[in-house]
Structure 1
Amino acid sequence: MEISSCPFLSSDDFSQFYPTPYPELQTSPPPNSPPWKKRRKENDVIEITADDVVLKDKDSSNNNTRIKEILSSLLMFEDENERENQPESWLISPQNSGSGPVHTPAPQTQLAEAEVNDPKQKNKRSRTATDSQAGAGAAPATAPSTQRRLWVKDRSKDWWDKCSHPDYPEQEFQKSFRMSKATFNMVCEELEPVITKKDTMLRAAIPVRQRVAVCIWRLATGEPLRLVSKRFGLGISTCHKLVLEVCAAIKTTLMPRFLQWPDDARLSEIKDEYELMSGIPNVGGSIYTTHIPIIAPKVNVGAYFNKRHTERNQKTSYSITVQGVVDPNGVFTDVCIGWPGSMPDDKVLEQSALFQRANRGLLNNVWMVGNSGVPLMDWVLVPYTHKNLTWTQHSFNEKIGDIQKVARDSFCRLKRRWGCLQKRTEVKLQELPVVLGACCVLHNICEMRKEVIDPEIANSFELFDDEMLPENAVRSATAIQARDHIAHNLLHHGLGGTSFL
């Protein structure tokens, strides 16, 4: 049984509703004695006690019945004035199953202030009144159904209602969510079976489109959760939970389709496209590594310290790394996320699944083109880094730069499209890789669908290179010969030739 939150009836209100009090209750307690202390059920007889007032007659059915009638009459009805004074956003009124208003009754007595504030006493009185009505022979007629009073704050959803309207301008929608309405609808359709929730008796579930919109808008703008809450009319904790749930659904549902290592047929197409672009054969991808700023972690803080960012920004910075391999269209085919920011690019590469794939012999006859931050290996092609380059080496570096620019530009669009990657996020460190992985998947979807970034957003961010020369820049003598041969062919054979792979 639910007890109403309205105040108890005062003595004046009691005399107004019940002008003829029962004579049995005219006895007043002593001046220093407390008011009615408790009310309990004992041997199916109601006992009302004070210091010197006891009404108890086990043998008299008349007195017993009358006391029960008194208690039944002391049910509180909600005060309509108090009801009007309550904020509309915090009140859900009961539903009417018949004619007239429906109220939630509760037994009341005049209580001391300490007793009123004691929830145990309230629950005990509530149970006692219910038992007394049942013992008095009151027919348990079908009571009108009532709805629970819920403490749910009514927040404005005007902004989201306007954005979700079919007449909302396409350009404004794309500026807010970094994708067109068609792409957004496609993402919602793909995630609907995973993130759909059922309505409950207490509240309606948040629609799928709103769930996805909360996540994408948060990733796109990087705004704090309190602003996301105001935009969508949801609680801050609810918005945070939605972001994590949708990102996890993107990782499990969309990543297997939109971010996968290419099969043999697609890999052959990638090689042809890169060779047409640069003249270098057998290039299967371009590698690049970037850093995502984070709040200083509580554990192993030194491992996440970013020296380059600290020197450039004149402010202590911490980060984690994101390494990616992209195809000629700027679509990620492999990502490695989450290693501490103090690790150089070559160490991140050694810890990646790409490195393990190469060790298993799955990258034979394939070059991965990297920058000067990774070493030259049998399957990794990097530019010359020593001084006084020859014309052949200089020409080779230019062609390598064209391939490397594909990956760099792709990472630049990634950070421009998802503003959460440009600033320190509120997401916990252990949950951040899932969020970053979702950004990479959504980036691939936008790149595949030829989504264009708004010029104002594109010009508001500049990507800085943080690569550091590895201690051992050359790890394969065979790779040295292969690189020299490719460089010679590029200069003397019209950008053609074969490699020593």
Structure 2
Amino acid sequence: MNDSTSNRKKRRRKDEGEGELGVVKEGKKRDLKEIITSLLLLEEQQKRDQEEFDRTLEEEKMVFEENHKKKTRAMMDYYSNLQDYYNELDDMDQARRKRCNSASATTAAAAGAAGAASLEFSDSSVKPGSGARRLWVKDRSKAWWDECNKPEFPEEEFRKAFRMSRATFDMICDELNSVVAKEDTMLRAAIPVRQRVAVCIWRLATGEPLRLVSKKFGLGISTCHKLVLEVCSAIRTVLMPKYLQWPDEETLRRMKDEFESISGIPNVVGSMYTTHIPIIAPKISVAAYFNRRHTERNQKTSYSITVQGVVDPKGVFTDVCIGWPGSMPDDQVLEKSALYQRANGGLLKGVWIVGGSGYPLMDWVMVPYTQQNLTWTQHAFNEKIGEIQRVSREAFARLKARWCCLQKRTEVKLQDLPVVLGACCVLHNICELQNEEMDPELRINLIDDEMIPEIPLRSTTSMKARDAIAHNLLHHGLAGTAFL
């Protein structure tokens, strides 16, 4: 009896233990299912969040691209209207000049008739052949220029005044003679070619106001202004095709070798930089020329136009783009340039032009790394590409130092400025090619702000190429150690 009771108790306890174990196992299974369900829900939620993020990003990208297109169209319309405005001004100016010339001819004819009558009917006051002038001309002293023009004038003083040797100056005069020379008239003798060229070069070199140019050369203020524009135009027409042009294939090969010897980076054919030239606030479209960065830095309202240039290893310009407003960042100026159009047409296939961080990375534009926390390889690459950037920066520093008119706001009209700035670039090339040394006292520190483009990376192929070049520089012992 007792044994059977004991057995029943044991079986009961065993059944209760198995029941409790089953409950525990069932609870664990339920918890595991809940965990798996939670993970699946979490994964699903993450997937939906990612899809939402991608959709939002795509919408923002489409809005950005649409805004960019609208801005581009508005800018192009603005410059089209601006060009039409300048064309109208030119037409009005030409019509005014024609009226003035017609009036002057009528006046001269009347004066000639009156002079003939006085010679015919007066008794002895003015006699034929006396050489009396019919028009009054103010006598001005040109002693300073007469002294400079003498062969015995010190070469060092001549170089200081005109930023070049007498031999280089004479060469420029000979090149421009056929375009600049004028013939004598019955009323006055023509201004010699050397004096015409000297007025222009001295004005560009010193940046002095026209009233001081007038005193130096013994000419009227309006005459000096006219001479500067005429000679600058002649430089653009005659000398620019000869001294500022894109290199041929043989020259490009030599430039690649020289740039590679400087930095170790292959296939580089140019160093690019964009600088700003101060101007007086224009009467139209003031906001377009407002330079916010210069204004903030100097605490003085600044307006400017841009000059983008590509130079060879010696600092000689091979391409320039002049005249876009100072409010435009470097990448937009590049997109407006003829160089950009030629590059898209295949001119720069397989070669690089090196620019600063203000330019985007493209199939033909190589720029430094700009992201945070650079690797040693990227630091090394930036150090070497900086040596190529320095070539164009120093070239622009010499350009502005030689031609001081680029450092101050000029009296030249906005529509005439591209011709004047182009002449400065051509004269810079001539001085560089003639190995004209620059006075150390003229050297300046060049300051131009660079803004990271809105779309800094525009070519995945170029990203891979840049990474490969950076890797080769570091692992073949071509990179420096300044970043360590």
TM-score bin (small chain)? 0.7 to 0.9
CA distance in 1: counterparts of 2:129 and 2:138, whole angstroms: 26
Answer yes or no: is the 8 Å Cα contact 1:280–1:495 preserved in 2: no
**1:485 maps to which residue?**
468
1:417 Cα deviation (Å)? 0.2
**1:329 maps to which residue?**
314
Identify the match of residue 171 of structure 1 among 156, 176, 200: 156
3-state secondary structure, aligned to 1:343: coil
Answer yes or no: is the 8 Å Cα contact 1:358–1:379 preserved in 2: yes
**1:192 maps to which residue?**
177
Answer yes or no: is the 8 Å Cα contact 2:360–2:457 preserved in 1: yes
CA RMSD of the aligned region, Å? Answer: 2.2
Q: Deviations over 1:147-174 (max 9, x none)?
A: 3332111111110011111111111111
The residue identity in structure 1 corresponding to 2:288 is A
**Are 1:471 and 2:471 matched, yes or no?**
no
1:143 Cα deviation (Å)? 4.9
1:455 Cα deviation (Å)? 1.4
1:343-362 matches, within 5 Å, as: 343-362=328-347
**2:219 maps to which residue?**
234
Q: Deviations over 1:299-331 (max 9, x none)?
A: 101000001110111110000000000000000
The residue identity in structure 2 corresponding to 1:471 is E
1:427 Cα deviation (Å)? 0.1
**1:451 maps to which residue?**
436
1:338-487 matches, within 5 Å, as: 338-458=323-443, 461-487=444-470
Identify the match of residue 146 of structure 2 among 141, 146, 161: 161
Answer yes or no: is the 8 Å Cα contact 1:372–1:382 preserved in 2: yes
The residue identity in structure 2 corresponding to 1:286 is S
CA distance in 1: counterparts of 2:191 and 2:449, whole angstroms: 42
**2:86 maps to which residue?**
none
Answer yes or no: is the 8 Å Cα contact 1:286–1:326 preserved in 2: yes
1:276-355 matches, within 5 Å, as: 276-355=261-340
CA distance in 2: counterparts of 1:297 and 1:398, whole angstroms: 40
The residue identity in structure 1 corresponding to 2:463 is I
The residue identity in structure 2 corresponding to 1:336 is C
CA distance in 2: counterparts of 1:399 and 1:247, whole angstroms: 38
CA distance in 1: counterparts of 2:268 and 2:217, whole angstroms: 46
**Are 1:253 and 2:253 matched, yes or no?**
no
**1:222 maps to which residue?**
207
Q: Deviations over 1:195-232 (max 9, x none)?
A: 00001111110001000000000000000000000000
Structure number with the higher helix fraction is 2
The residue identity in structure 2 corresponding to 1:486 is I
Are residues 456 and 133 of structure 1, via their aligned partners in 2, closer, same or farther at CA, if it must alter by over 3 Å?
closer
3-state secondary structure, aligned to 1:431: helix
1:494 Cα deviation (Å)? 3.1
3-state secondary structure, aligned to 2:324: strand
Identity of aligned residues (%): 73
**2:477 maps to which residue?**
494
3-state secondary structure, aligned to 1:147: coil
Q: Deviations over 1:286-309 (max 9, x none)?
A: 010000000000110100000111
TM-score (ref. length: structure 2): 0.73
Identify the match of residue 255 of structure 2 among 267, 270, 276: 270
**2:229 maps to which residue?**
244
Are residues 476 and 149 of structure 1, via their aligned partners in 2, closer, same or farther at CA, if it must alter by over 3 Å?
same
CA distance in 2: counterparts of 1:413 and 1:440, whole angstroms: 10
TM-score (ref. length: structure 1): 0.70
Give 5+ residue unaligned stretches, structure 1. Answer: 1-118, 497-501
